[in-house]
Amino acid sequence: INTIGVLTSGGDAPGMNATIRAVVRTALSKGKKVVGIKRGYNGLISGDIHEMGSKDVSDIIQRGGTILHTARCLEFIKPEGQKRGAEMCKVFGIDGLVVIGGDGSFKGAEKLAGLGINTIGVPGTIDLDIACTDYTIGFDTAVNTAMEAIDKVRDTSTSHERCSVVEVMGRDAGYIALWCGITNGAEAVLLPEKKNMSQEELIRMIIENRNKGKRHNLIINAEGSSEDSVKLAKKIEEVTGISTRATILGHLQRGGSPSAVDRMHASMMGSIAVDLLCEGKSNRVVAYKEGQYLDYDINEALAMQKSISEKRYDLSKILSI
Ligand code: F6P
């Protein structure tokens, strides 16, 4: 390996910058040339590729977002786009590529590997929805951001003796929602992975809670659940007469300075990705499982299934009484 390229792809996540820094500095320490590719696979196709030195990644470990920018590239889903990407790698002499992103980004990396470019995926997404790893870069910061925001909603909800429906991100996964459900002490959590309480059951719970003397109700709704937060809040207010508000936390969950946990995993995983390339490996994803850093074949990783912890889900219910 002579030249290592690095790109961020899909939704950004706090800790992506720390990963880029680790890739660049580890590669430089091994005497490799490093290039940064802007806007994910879009920049690969268009040749928006720039050499990076150590100084280019100074003062970024603490920053949210990604200095390389990111995008979801539709063109790269098609074989023609993938071929153009591989050709551009050859034009710039990129013989090793680190792709920081989620499952969609890894599918692209797998295609490039098939076209002769050594590629390594690093899991970067706030959603925690990558099956081969217990940890994805950005999750810890995002869940803490959501938790702190929900604490604030809870203060005002309690003062007004209201019910709050708070929607958190996660796409089709309920990890952020479940973590917030437990760490914010929610009365109910609605997840895409579970058969949730029906509207009637929720409403009955809220009325029973009022009769028990509870001053507020907090319902965490994962964006991928079947409930629309605004409609649900309206329905609860209509039937119970309890003032109810919906809050959709949205993109604030994707920003902010990465936590120490995210910076540590980002630094380790970025550096391991470069080690793997230098060992001649390709088509691998870096993972963290049961306290160990590992790597998996991308195809195998993409075929794995992940499920919500039953213990944590049960706990969210036990503690909500
Ligand atoms: O994958 C990260 C994520 O923030 C999801 O939680 C969410 O569904 C999606 O990205 C939002 O995407 P966009 O930034 O394109 O609105």
Q: What is the pLDDT of residue 206?
A: 97
Nearest-10 Cα torsion for 89, 93, 98, 100:
-50
DSSP 309: -
Nearest to 133 by CA among 320, 296, 244: 296
3-state secondary structure of 50: strand
**pTM (2 d.p.):** 0.97
3-state secondary structure of 142: helix
Q: Tell me how far apart the alpha carbons of residues 270 and 24 are, in angstroms, rounded to a whole number.
A: 9
Residue 305: Cβ within 10 Å count: 5
Q: Is 126 close to ligand 1, i.e. is its CB under 6 Å away?
A: yes
Ligand 1 atom nearest the C-alpha of 176 is: 6
Q: What is the pLDDT of residue 286?
A: 98
| Residues 168, 180 contacting (CB under 8 angstroms) | yes
126 is in an annotated binding site: yes
The ipTM estimated for the assembled molecules is 0.98
DSSP sequence for 172-231: T--HHHHHHHHHTT-SEEE-TTS-PPPHHHHHHHHHHHHHHT---EEEEEETTSS--HHH
15 is in an annotated binding site: no
Q: How far is the CA of 29 from the centre of ligand 1 (A)?
A: 34
Q: How confident is the model at residue 38 (pLDDT cuts 50, 70, 90)?
A: very high
Answer positive or negative: Cα dihedral of 275, 280, 286, 292: negative
Q: How confident is the model at residue 35 (pLDDT cuts 50, 70, 90)?
A: very high
- The yes-or-no verdict on residue 245 having pLDDT over 90 is yes
For range 268-282, the mean pLDDT: 98
What residues does 137 pair with on adjacent strands?
Answer: 124
First-to-last alpha carbon distance for the chain, in angstroms, is: 58
Ligand 1 atom nearest the C-alpha of 126 is: 2
288 backbone dihedrals φ, ψ, rounded to 5°: -130, 115
Alpha helices in 15-76 (DSSP H): 16-29, 41-46
Residue 50: Cβ within 10 Å count: 13
Percentage above 90 pLDDT, the chain: 100
150 backbone dihedrals φ, ψ, rounded to 5°: -70, -35
Ligand 1 atom nearest the C-alpha of 254 is: 4
Measured in whole angstroms, the distance separating CA 44 from the mean position of its chain's CA atoms is 22
Q: What is the pLDDT of residue 215?
A: 87
Catalytic site positions: 127
| Residues 100, 6 contacting (CB under 8 angstroms) | yes
What residues does 163 pair with on adjacent strands?
Answer: 217, 244
Q: Tell me how far apart the alpha carbons of residues 45 and 159 are, in angstroms, rounded to a whole number.
A: 54
Q: What is the pLDDT of residue 40?
A: 98
Indicate the top mutation candidate among 169, 223, 249, 252 to test ligand 1's pocket, ranked by most ligand atoms within 8 A of CB: 169
Q: What is the pLDDT of residue 129?
A: 97
Minimal-distance CA residue to ligand 1 atom 3 = 11
Q: Is 169 close to ligand 1, i.e. is its CB under 6 Å away?
A: yes
Q: Is 187 close to ligand 1, i.e. is its CB under 6 Å away?
A: no
Residue type present at position 272: I
Residue 194: Cβ within 10 Å count: 15
